[in-house]
Amino acid sequence: MYELLLISTIESFLMIPTGLAFIGIYANKKRIIISALINSLSILLVRYIYTKYSIPLGSHTLVLTLILELEMRFILKQNFLNSSIAILVGLFSMLWGENILFSLLTINSNNLHLVLPLHFIFFIVSHLLLIILFVVTCVLKRPIIKI
């Protein structure tokens, strides 16, 4: 459980500012950290509910996207268009790497947390696009699209 919280916090911290910086918006770091923590706790809660009630995963992405949309609207003070674009960019860059890596290696990512060091290695490899976009858009401050 703690490793999922750690991974989802890092994932959220990379995804939220990357999506915003992609379109040239640089949000307050404190608000990003708060939003990332709330998002990672939301991930834990939604996954727990889905597991407890034997709901197949899949629609959880939609539920988590709606929660993230609300976070970006109320915590980061973004309008619907900016938050939607930021979420789509963040999700695409995160899921793209995961889908490619896990389909190539035919690994079930739900059981990957059982081997913690391996989990972190796969996290870095599968999130390489997200990490590169984070460096380009947030660290180097080079937005891809200016809205």
Q: Given this model, what pLDDT does residue 126 score?
A: 84
- What global pTM score does this model have? 0.84
- On whether residue 146 sits in a domain, the answer given is no
d(CA 94, CA 129): 7
Q: Which helix (H) or strand (E) holds 122?
A: helix 116-126
Q: Are 71 and 38 in contact (CB under 8 A)?
A: yes
Residue 144 within any structural domain of the chain: no
How far is the C-alpha of 35 from the C-alpha of 115, rounded, in Å? 28
What backbone torsions phi and psi does residue 73 show, to the nearest 5 degrees?
Answer: -70, -45
What's the longest Cα–Cα distance across the chain? 44
Supply the range of the domain harboring residue 74: 2-139
Give a yes or no: residue 91 inside a domain: yes
State the DSSP string of 47-93.
HHHHHHTTPPTTTHHHHHHHHHHHHHHHTS---HHHHHHHHHHHHHH
pLDDT of 58:
80
Domain assignment present for 145? no
Within a domain: residue 58? yes
Q: Residue 114 has which token pair? A: 């059982």
Report pLDDT digits (tens) over 13-50.
Answer: 999 999 999 999 999 999 999 999 999 999 999 999 99
Pick out the chain residues at pLDDT < 70. 102, 105-116
How many domains does one find in the chain? 1
Tokens of 2: 């703690």
In a domain, 100, yes or no: yes
Question: Quick one: CA torsion of 18, 88, 132, 39, rounded to 10 degrees?
Answer: 60
